[in-house]
Amino acid sequence: MELKDHVLIVTGGASGIGREACLALAAKGADLVVADFNLAGAEQVAAEVQALGRRAKAFKVDVSKAAEVKAMVDFAVDQLGTLNGIFNNAGISKVQSLLEMDPASYHRVIDVDQHSVYYGLHYGARKMVELGAKGTFVNTASIFGYVAARGSFNYNAAKSAVVAMTRTGALELAEHGIRVVAVAPGFIDTPMMGEDPSIKPPLAAQHMHNTLIQPEKVASVVAFLFTDAAQAVNGSTVPVDDGFLAFKV
Ligand SMILES: NC(=O)c1ccc[n+]([C@@H]2O[C@H](COP(=O)([O-])OP(=O)(O)OC[C@H]3O[C@@H](n4cnc5c(N)ncnc54)[C@H](O)[C@@H]3O)[C@@H](O)[C@H]2O)c1
């Protein structure tokens, strides 16, 4: 119960890594706002969190919209009484070669995967400083914040920015008792992978165990990073990639 009396927001909480993070954080005692574009999915996960004995509220948000992220932060404090951090996790990919990538596709991925993290840190930290609340932000970066992938010009740009914003956020917020860290998942077995099973084996082969990573393995690292046991981890992005980056450098 290391996170007892902590109020956290999880974006992208309806599915994949976000859903598993909600369950892992609730198991450590946190009360949660499960925020997602998919409200029905968020309500389902909030019910699962309540079944674990924690308080949970669902909130519909488009994290690419500043006003909606600000409203999400206000909702958490109104409904659950305080705020101790956000798992800025919601994200999308739109695979397209650089030669084919139109501005709308480029900007959508930057808006959802990059600007959302700025909004979460900005509005979340302002609220915490106002309340005098301490806590942690965890951002979802990616192995593709470090290495290039074909068709991922937009995603590579956004996730590299998440790694950078994690560093600067930590630097500026430490004096307020707020840590900022990130995870860089490898290839995770979530709906983001799509329906085509043939893409999975070549991705799995890039991990040391030759298998995709299950989302609960990312969630357990995320939940640890929110606890005081991870107090000395700050500004860093932790790979959860079964050795992918170790193969590359
Ligand atoms: N799956 C992977 O291999 C992998 C690898 C590295 C990083 N990631 C990152 O992990 C994060 C979670 O992805 P996942 O694999 O769990 O995918 P997922 O598709 O299972 O979950 C993503 C969730 O985000 C929500 N979402 C999407 N756009 C949104 C928006 N604009 N506003 C609010 N919610 C929105 C979706 O509704 C969904 O519930 C993403 O940031 C993704 O880039 C995933």
Q: Beta-strand (E) ranges in 52-148? A: 56-60, 86-88, 135-140
Q: Is 75 in the pocket of ligand 1 (CB under 6 A)?
A: no
Query: Which residue is listed with tokens 């709906």?
Result: 191
Q: Is 182 in the pocket of ligand 1 (CB under 6 A)?
A: no
Share of the chain above pLDDT 90, in %: 98
List the single range of 82-86, 133-137, 156-160, 195-199 with lowest mean pLDDT.
Answer: 195-199
CA distance 188 to 136: 24
Tell me how crowded residue 132 is: count the other CB atoms within 10 A of its CB. 9
182 with 238: CB under 8 angstroms? yes
53 with 29: CB under 8 angstroms? no
70 with 123: CB under 8 angstroms? yes
Cα angle 56-183-85, degrees, rounded to a multiple of 5: 35
DSSP 242: T
Give the Å distance between the CA of 132 and the centre of ligand 1.
Answer: 30
Cα–Cα distances in Å, from 119 out to 30, 72, 101? 22, 11, 25
pLDDT, tens digit, for every residue of 157-198? 999 999 999 999 999 999 999 999 999 999 999 999 998 999
Give the Å distance between the CA of 193 and the centre of ligand 1.
Answer: 10
Q: Is 237 in the pocket of ligand 1 (CB under 6 A)?
A: no
DSSP 229: G
Q: CATH second-level architecture of 7-239? A: 3-Layer(aba) Sandwich (3.40)
What percentage of the chain's residues is helix, strand, coil (to nearest 5)?
Answer: 50, 15, 35
Which residues does residue 184 pair with via DSSP β-bridges, in sequence order? 239
Mean pLDDT of the chain: 97
pLDDT, tens digit, for every residue of 17-50? 999 999 999 999 999 999 999 999 999 999 999 9
pLDDT, position 149: 96
Q: Where are the alpha helices (DSSP H) in 6-101?
A: 16-27, 39-51, 66-80
CA distance 31 to 25: 8
- Supply φ then ψ for residue 136, to 5 degrees: -140, 140
pLDDT, position 210: 96
Is 155 catalytic? The answer is yes
pLDDT, position 249: 56
Going by pLDDT thresholds of 50, 70 and 90, the confidence category of residue 114 is very high
Mutate to test the pocket of ligand 1, among 17, 23, 44, 222 (most ligand atoms within 8 A of CB): 17
